[in-house]
Amino acid sequence: MKDPIEFWFDFTSPYSYLVSEKIDDLAAKHGRKVKWKPIMLGALFKTTGTQPLTQVPLKGDYAIRDFARSARFLGIPYRQPSKFPLTTLATARAYYWLHDRDCAMARKYAHAAFRAAFTEDRDISDPAVVVELAAAQGANGEELAAALGTQEVKDRLKQECDAALAKGMFGAPYVIIDNEPFWGADRLPQIEKWLETGGF
């Protein structure tokens, strides 16, 4: 059994959403599992001195156009969130809380959160929305709501952000296959070839 692929992302990243709709099937085709790892892009951007994409002059306008066009190219539904970008602290903390209890439920929650943000224009940075989405997958909403503010859950996400930086992550999505990093939804063809050939 080959090592799982790592899929590092931020829930506010449109290109991460696009990869989230493809990566599990792509990996399964090549006998691989995928570890999903939400982090906070803001923490990485402090290290690299990067601005959120849509706040860069000219590039921001292009990005808004490219998010939707790339989604059409990949055959994935997409609607630009009216509030963007989002600070997805609660969204990511909830993911790890769920993951440490029920890995499959966490995966379903992650899909639900991405789709809520990028097809239904829901504000997934809102802890009430996060709890609702998790509860819809079968989680105990009251326990989750209470957990979100605890130091333990805060530290859990902080550790993952530190781990992402240590792996050289500077943007999302960031997919790692056997130590080889791939940044961006536009690297899906290279990811596929890498899985097919074991490296090129």
Give the integer Cα–Cα distance in Å for 118 and 151: 30
**Which token pair is 68?**
């939707």
Of residues 30-49, those binding a second copy (CB under 8 A): 44, 47-49
Q: Which residues pair with 180 in a beta bridge?
A: 177
Binding region for a second copy (CB under 8 A) out of 58-66, 94-102, 112-120, 125-133 = 58-66
- DSSP, collapsed to helix, strand or coil, labels residue 69 as helix
Q: Quote the least distance from Cβ 172 to a second copy, whole Å.
A: 12
Give the integer Cα–Cα distance in Å for 6 and 177: 7
Say whether residue 173 binds a second copy (CB under 8 A).
Answer: no
Which CB, 48 or 140, lies closer to a second copy? 48
Say whether residue 4 binds a second copy (CB under 8 A).
Answer: no
Angle formed by the axes of helices 89-99 and 151-166, nearest 10°? 100
Say whether residue 77 binds a second copy (CB under 8 A).
Answer: no
Which residue from 69, 79, 83, 154 is in contact with a second copy, where contact means CB under 8 A? 69
- Expressed in percent and rounded to 5, the helix, strand and coil fractions of the chain are 60, 10, 35
Give the integer Cα–Cα distance in Å for 82 and 96: 26
Say whether residue 200 binds a second copy (CB under 8 A).
Answer: yes
Say whether residue 51 binds a second copy (CB under 8 A).
Answer: yes
If you ran DSSP here, which 8-state letter would residue 167 be given? T
Q: Quote the least distance from Cβ 98 to a second copy, whole Å.
A: 29
Question: Could you list the residues that contact a second copy (CB under 8 A)?
Answer: 44, 47-51, 56-59, 61-62, 65-66, 69-70, 72-73, 165, 168-171, 181, 183-184, 186-187, 189-190, 193, 200
